[in-house]
Structure 1
Amino acid sequence: HQLASQLLHNKFILVLGDSIQRSVYKDLVLLLQKDRFISAKQLKTKGEMSFENDSLVEGGCQSQMHNGSNYREIRQFQSDHHLVRFYFVTRIYSDYMQSILEDFQRGMKPDVVIVNSCVWDISRYNSRWISDYKDNLEKFFGRLRDIMPEETLIIWNLAMPVGERIRGGFLVPEIEHKAAHLRFDVVEANFYSGTLADEYGLDVLDLHFQFRFSLQHRTNDGVHWNALAHRRITTLLLQHAAQAWGVIWPAPLTSVGDEVSSHTKKGQNRDDRSFDYRYRQSQQAVMRSRNNRKHYAPYTNIKTSKYSHHHYY
């Protein structure tokens, strides 16, 4: 908690993506305030009015709740020294994404952007997804590069492994026939997106690689992940930011302890050594930008900012 809070002191963090990215946002918001794991209920809930002192800015339970591709949810957590914002998106480039980027072009720029969009892109829009996905990635990366200052740390995290069998809200009847081979499509999409992101000078964090032997921490729906997995993701992202800013990371964020048993299923391997989310230099698969970044704090009083996407402050 203290390490995360200090590293992100006076930082504006933007998270863009699907329900996995929402959980990334939630775990980060929780860790900035408390030394505990996020609960399974908190991970599963979407669109609530408030999560751990954040606020629902737009969409969610304020409008119709559904599993469609036009579902909207914007969340924000704000403290004296931290600002974290999340936008739910189901396509990496669309009219909605354009509107988000245009607002950032006019307003306050984030220090860190954590973004991924994959599973919806390759399953819900077009059966021949490859060319569409590539084109949209190029548009998004190019626009993002034009808008964000050089100091902004942009992390494209690759999509995590999906199961052979997928169930739950994501799998609407129209795409049930795609479920069996979706895990292979994700690998292919990750290759395209990771390569393109690197070409545009973005940082790439390969979460598919990181979690390929940790599938026991994926939930029963074949898509989402439990609290231990999300704390590991948070740890990797923070360690990556520390490296990018030249900050020495003195210790793991937390240690694996008794909490493991409360976040594992009955009969699941509970040996600490089977899943260590603490950072290891040799395990991190990151394509790094060649430019050294400076520790950077661009805002001091966000309440007086002229920035307004939907009148947040």
Structure 2
Amino acid sequence: MKHEMKFVRHQHVSQLFHNKFIVVMGDSIQRSVYKDLVKLLQKDDYLYVTQLKRKGEISFEQDCLVEGGCLSCMNNGTAYREVRQYQSPHHLVRFYFLTNIYSNYMKSIMEDFRHGLKPDLVIVNSCLWDISRYDLKWVDGYKVNLKSFFEELLGILPEESLVLWNLTMPLGSCIRGGFLVPEISHKEAQLRDDVIEANFYSGVLAEAFKVDVLDLHFHFRFFLQHRTRDGIHWNALAHRRISTLLSLHAAEAWGVELPINSLVDSSVGHHLPGLESARSVVRPPINNRLPYPPRDGYINFEVHAPPDRHENAAYHMPYAHHCSLRNDYNGPNPYVMKTRHARYQYMPYTLHRPNPHD
């Protein structure tokens, strides 16, 4: 059976996340999720291999390194930190590197949310480090940390914020690379099974907290050829597929209809930037009208930025409520995609210009 990848376009994703504050949290795979989203918000090109491999750089596609990375000590330990942020007049995306789903560092991130701008969308996963770096008997500790994380996060965020828990993607039978330090090399053979078990626990717990679940392990079971040689990471096509799944999920949650017939087949580009060639992928002309009109008035993200504990980060403006995003699970496999009731899209940072004739 042939399984084709379909991708969303830059124009539709840019409109979908117009005036949205998005937070991505997790490991190196989640960092690539952040990077692909940042690139997709600006253009239709894929990530280069060097962009996928690099970590802690000062700048990536007009974003900035806020904390950690090359500003601090570059290492493969559990104390490694990296906070990145991309902002434009219409979008704000932030990334936090995690090695543990609930720790003192996570509590400091929660304080950022408690006293600063509340995210409209939180995309999070933390698994591989949690189940391999801290304790041989990881199950009980992982469950406790997940419960504490969901309780505190949902207690801070307004109900209108959408929290999306990504299940960990399939591992290869042979794992190598920077993640697999010598101290945990003996765990290589069992990590694949541990990930499946951890996915089950985190998915069930997320369901109990009514948190959205996107089962990337399920979605990529037929796309293993896009996993890289280290057995952990994935190529640019896979990450564009993840961005597509995230966008479609968010659109459904917010009641926005993305034109499915406008999804681009991965075979459109004869050369993938960073893999075989550095040339940009050729895209067909866009003839479809956007399902929602562009906003003619907005508050610029670059103004009204009060100070933050992170020296280079910028918080922007107060959060404005939009509609509820909570829902119940339906269907035989609740971890693939939730069936939702219609929700209507609001632009929390939109400020319409007053009519001078009123």
Query: Which TM-score bucket, shorter chain as reference?
Result: 0.7 to 0.9
Task: Give yes or no for the alignment of 1:94 onto 2:103.
Answer: yes
**1:112 aligned partner, one-letter code:** L
What are the within-5 Å matches in structure 2 for residues 225-264 of structure 1? Answer: 225-251=234-260, 252-259=262-269, 262=272
Correspondence for 1:286: 336
Structure 2: gaps (5+ residues): 1-9, 277-332, 352-358
Per-residue CA deviation, residues 43-89 of structure 1 (Å, 9 max, x unaligned), is: 00000000000000011011111100110000000000000000001
- Give the conservation status (yes or no) of the 8 Å contact 1:210–1:285: no
SS of equivalent residue, structure 1 residue 110: coil
Report the CA distance shift for 1:130/1:23 in structure 2 as closer, same or farther (over 3 A): same
- Give the conservation status (yes or no) of the 8 Å contact 1:228–1:263: no
> How far off is 1:6 after superposition?
0.3
> How far off is 1:293 after superposition?
4.2
**1:298 aligned partner, one-letter code:** P
- Give the conservation status (yes or no) of the 8 Å contact 2:252–2:340: no
* Identity percentage of aligned residues: 64
Q: Among 105, 108, 112, which residue is 1:103 paired with?
A: 112
**Residues of 1 paired with 2:165 and 2:192: CA distance?**
19
Per-residue CA deviation, residues 227-268 of structure 1 (Å, 9 max, x unaligned), is: 0000000000000000001111113443222536547989xx
Task: Give yes or no for the alignment of 1:22 onto 2:31.
Answer: yes
- Give the conservation status (yes or no) of the 8 Å contact 2:99–2:129: yes
Q: Among 13, 16, 20, which residue is 1:7 paired with?
A: 16
SS of equivalent residue, structure 2 residue 237: helix
Largest Rg, 1 or 2: 2
**Residues of 1 paired with 2:204 and 2:272: CA distance?**
38
**2:176 aligned partner, one-letter code:** R
What are the within-5 Å matches in structure 2 for residues 11-90 of structure 1? Answer: 11-90=20-99
**TM-score normalised per structure 2:** 0.76
Q: Among 152, 171, 175, which residue is 1:162 paired with?
A: 171
**1:248 aligned partner, one-letter code:** E
133-142 vs 252-261, which moves further: 252-261
- Higher share in helix: 1
**Residues of 2 paired with 1:198 and 1:115: CA distance?**
15
Q: Which has the higher contact order (CA 8 A, sep 6+)?
A: 2
**Residues of 1 paired with 2:203 and 2:339: CA distance?**
13
**Residues of 1 paired with 2:155 and 2:339: CA distance?**
17
SS of equivalent residue, structure 1 residue 100: helix
Correspondence for 1:304: none
Correspondence for 2:319: none
**Residues of 2 paired with 1:77 and 1:180: CA distance?**
38
**Residues of 2 paired with 1:149 and 1:12: CA distance?**
13
Report the RMSD for the aligned CA atoms in angstroms.
2.1
**Residues of 2 paired with 1:15 and 1:201: CA distance?**
19
- Give the conservation status (yes or no) of the 8 Å contact 2:120–2:160: yes
> How far off is 1:289 after superposition?
7.4
- Give the conservation status (yes or no) of the 8 Å contact 2:132–2:187: yes
**Residues of 1 paired with 2:350 and 2:116: CA distance?**
15
- Give the conservation status (yes or no) of the 8 Å contact 1:203–1:289: no
> How far off is 1:113 after superposition?
0.3
Correspondence for 2:147: 138
Correspondence for 1:297: 347
Task: Give yes or no for the alignment of 1:180 onto 2:230.
Answer: no
**Residues of 1 paired with 2:270 and 2:73: CA distance?**
36
Structure 1: gaps (5+ residues): 267-282, 302-313
**Residues of 2 paired with 1:198 and 1:242: CA distance?**
20
**1:214 aligned partner, one-letter code:** F
Task: Give yes or no for the alignment of 1:201 onto 2:210.
Answer: yes
SS of equivalent residue, structure 2 residue 111: helix
SS of equivalent residue, structure 1 residue 83: strand
**Residues of 2 paired with 1:245 and 1:12: CA distance?**
14
SS of equivalent residue, structure 1 residue 122: helix
SS of equivalent residue, structure 2 residue 130: coil
**Residues of 2 paired with 1:196 and 1:296: CA distance?**
29
- Give the conservation status (yes or no) of the 8 Å contact 1:228–1:260: no
**1:259 aligned partner, one-letter code:** G
> How far off is 1:102 after superposition?
1.5
